[in-house]
A and B are shown apart, each in its own frame.
Chain A
């Protein structure tokens, strides 16, 4: 055990810090769930890619830096410290990217990864269907083989970023006689293809952060099937494992929010009336750090050749509940003014982005597998409790 950084890790941190200092936009970008904000975030992805910072864990040939997971954590720490824009392409770089690296053919990697890294192609995810939410194996959206193509029909829903994104990935039933998790394939679909209709869904904050996608005889080449026909479930589980396990929500995000919360608390400590707030602030700071420590532990294990176990299902519950507590506590500190949507620069300065974060935090226990489903997984796969 060595809980200190080497000279090269420290040098890497400084290199990241210097670059971010020179490039992070001074003004916060508009939300990427607006047309204007989406393109501003795409431009930021291009800037990152020009510096080879798009996804530091990827090989240099794909625009990365061949970094290990410890360096990725260092990068993320500096990224959130610098207040850099959220990653509009996170569905691509954090979820699809690792899957492409593991299951994609060389031709598929060459086709999709550079465009993902450069921000030229922004990705939406398309897992859920109206009758396949927590029960993802109930997927019915079909992809029927026709020569060198697949023809897709059906509907997806809750597809994050789909309103403005260029591509989507998801599971489709390629074997019409199959049931449950058999006969599914992971397919990549251009959202501007003929027969694709995207209907925006407004989220709690009023913006169209996700969408329904309707497929009406949408033709995609068989080339777009990732990891082989009928292998979709296995590959999706690997993606879901990655999502819950490590990359979806890096600890730095919550540590930075906890730091801002401590500052807010210091400002309001004098006129604080609710004694529970003090306890919550401490808990937020501690839990954010605990999440970081647990992630360093997992990353160290992976760097040393180990693998993520079923205990990774604990992550999703821990960070989503932490995110709620951070923002609930901030709202308490803001008191009556907490309900205000900041309209002027002065109000934004005074109130911060807490209301935005508070609204977003409501979704944490739901997306990427509800926390109730996670608890079932923990009980059955990690603790070994009986299924029936």
Chain B
């Protein structure tokens, strides 16, 4: 089979179905309703998502999942961003589930981990991941277990042995916690090279998870701004007829168009060649953040004073973008990885190497 950078009909159909459900169930009113609850989670919604088979998409069939890959899920992650889903659906599917799978497939975890996989598939957030790159754990209080990292160590800690301190995010949909682990009661699952490899893969999946959502967030912000500037009239005509307004949104559209294929390439690389995904993922995170942060700035601007109010729903998307641009490695972290790669004397640079030597499993000269 030759080069084909398109999604299959099946993939597109599934995204449409889930997207339809999300647009019905995740409205700005219901997002704001979550802000006033203790947990910030709508358990009924999570059960609905699980019913569609989304949660276990990336878990192998032998472990009870659908055995699909990041390429199958990436547009769903984008849709979750577009709808500003508050629950960490994308992180559970694309980060927690694959880490549990990695551990089980290496024979490093026991029956208790299989039970955690079962819970995850049913929509319960039984496990949270505390990766060294993230100072905070989103919804860290909702889990019974934590997969935590210190250096190269991957350990499992029961919720009872973790001290959580709540932190308020600029985004009221997020529930952040600082975690302090009781190391005496942590079970080490992996360390050394194995642990380092698990964390590196996890970081790449986490960064991909944020990048895909950032693209969706940017698209939604532009769509809302097009609606607003088409309705709002000044000087006797819609403000969206002014070129100065049009060009602000066109600039965002250009960045989105060129972030999308980069994010899809990152998803493909994470799926097909996870140990060589660093460059593709960092590129995706940088490009998606650039698009979403530009969207936030320009979309607030075209909303005028409304854009600076609590009442305007745009804030739901803007604030999520500000938050996700920082999670799983900020701009500095990812640019630094790209910089290191570009300076390697054996990096495969040039037009003939967009997809590695021949495929993405080979991106560095031997």
| A residues adjacent to B (C-beta < 8 A) | 1-6, 8-10, 13, 70, 76-78, 80-81, 251-252, 255-256, 258-259, 262, 266, 269, 278-279, 281-282, 285-287, 289-294, 296-297, 299-301, 303-304, 306, 311, 314, 317-318, 372, 374-376, 378-380, 382-388
- A73–B265 Cα gap in the complex (Å)? 17
**In the complex, per-residue mask of B137-157: 1 if CB is within 8 Å of any chain A CB, else 0:** 000000000000000000000
Contact A81-B6, Cβ < 8 Å, known A5-B358, A385-B240: no
Q: Is the beta-carbon distance between A259 and B349 smaller than 8 angstroms? A: yes
> Count of chain B residues with Cβ under 8 Å from any Cβ of A?
55
**In the complex, per-residue mask of B342-358: 1 if CB is within 8 Å of any chain A CB, else 0:** 11000001111011101
What are 27 A-to-B residue pairs whose CB atoms are below 8 Å?
A1-B268, A2-B1, A2-B4, A3-B268, A4-B356, A5-B358, A81-B352, A256-B350, A282-B335, A286-B283, A286-B287, A297-B5, A303-B4, A304-B6, A314-B257, A317-B250, A318-B257, A375-B250, A378-B254, A379-B249, A383-B226, A384-B230, A385-B229, A385-B230, A386-B241, A387-B241, A388-B237
* B246 proximity list for chain A (CB < 8 A): 375-376, 379-380, 385
Of the candidates A290, A303, A383, which one forms a contact with B250 in the assembled complex, judged by CB atoms under 8 Å apart? A383
* B262 proximity list for chain A (CB < 8 A): 286, 289-290, 293
* B2 proximity list for chain A (CB < 8 A): 2, 5-6, 8-9, 70
- A380–B250 Cα gap in the complex (Å)? 9
Q: Is the beta-carbon distance between A291 and B7 smaller than 8 angstroms? A: no
CB closest residue in chain B, given A317? B254
- A281–B339 Cα gap in the complex (Å)? 9
Q: Tell me whether B247 is interfacial, beta carbon within 8 Å.
A: yes
- A9–B1 Cα gap in the complex (Å)? 10
* A78 proximity list for chain B (CB < 8 A): 352
Q: Is the beta-carbon distance between A375 and B6 smaller than 8 angstroms? A: no
* A290 proximity list for chain B (CB < 8 A): 258-259, 261-262, 283, 287
Of the candidates B71, B226, B283, B342, which one forms a contact with A385 in the assembled complex, judged by CB atoms under 8 Å apart? B226
* B264 proximity list for chain A (CB < 8 A): 1, 293, 297
- A380–B226 Cα gap in the complex (Å)? 10
Q: Is the beta-carbon distance between A294 and B258 smaller than 8 angstroms? A: yes
- A81–B360 Cα gap in the complex (Å)? 19
* A269 proximity list for chain B (CB < 8 A): 343
- A259–B352 Cα gap in the complex (Å)? 11
